[in-house]
Amino acid sequence: MKTVFDAAVRDELVSRINSLTLQNNAQWGKMTVSQMLKHCILCDEMFFGKLFIKRVFIGRLLGPMMLKKVLKDDRGFGRNSPTSQLLKTTGQNCDIDLHKKEWISNIEQFAVYNNANFIHPFFGLMTKDQVGLFAYKHADHHLRQFGA
């Protein structure tokens, strides 16, 4: 399975991010490409421990079981998957080039990832390997959403 800890996978993601323009329209969901870029930046900041989101109660009950299901194979996330309110973005089009550079910088930081105590707000404590798989699937989900 693909992981953001693999240099070739990071290169693939960077290429796909670079292909995005304001003309990319969502194939599902309500986000614009600008909102998606900011959302993905925030998610990576969460993985790096720069943004903390409190655990949700239902995640404490179902999270670990659902994580195993999500990461068991190469299948991507389903359309319109739920997200934390704190990771939802609104607003008009941003400086897309600036946000692409910021997201690419985050993707490249996975080469030296060291947040061994990452706790996902729904899935709970995740190993480094789980973070690598999940971060790839999340990025891939949103890039596919915009045809990249």
* Domain contains 52: yes
What's the token pair of residue 94? 């941003």
Q: What confidence score (pLDDT) does residue 92 get?
A: 66
Tally the domains of the chain: 1
Task: Give the span between the Cα atoms of 44 and 68, in whole angstroms.
Answer: 20
* Domain contains 96: yes
* Domain contains 15: yes
Kindly report which listed range (12-21, 43-52, 91-100, 106-115) carries the lowest average pLDDT score.
91-100
Residue (of 45, 48, 46) closest to 115 by Cα position: 48
Mean pLDDT of the chain: 92
Amino acid at 35: Q
Task: Give the CATH number, domain containing residue 33.
Answer: 1.20.120
Is the model's pTM score more than 0.85? yes
**Cα Rg, the chain, nearest whole Å:** 14
Residue (of 53, 73, 32, 40) closest to 123 by Cα position: 53
Mean pLDDT of 28-50: 93
Instruction: Give every CB contact of residue 113 below 8 A, 6+ residues apart in sequence.
Output: 4, 5, 47, 48, 128, 131, 132
* Domain contains 100: yes
Q: What confidence score (pLDDT) does residue 83 get?
A: 74
Asked if pLDDT for residue 44 goes beyond 90, the answer is yes
pLDDT digits (tens, 9 = 90+) for 102-136: 999 999 999 999 998 899 999 999 999 999 999 99
Q: What is the dihedral of CA 120, 106, 39, 58, to 10 degrees?
A: 0
Asked if pLDDT for residue 87 goes beyond 90, the answer is no
Q: What confidence score (pLDDT) does residue 89 get?
A: 76
Asked if pLDDT for residue 53 goes beyond 90, the answer is no
Asked if pLDDT for residue 85 goes beyond 70, the answer is no
Task: Give the span between the Cα atoms of 64 and 123, in whole angstroms.
Answer: 5
Mean pLDDT of 61-74: 92
Q: What range defines the domain where residue 74 resides?
A: 7-145
* Domain contains 1: no
Q: What confidence score (pLDDT) does residue 59 get?
A: 84
* Domain contains 2: no
Q: What confidence score (pLDDT) does residue 90 get?
A: 73
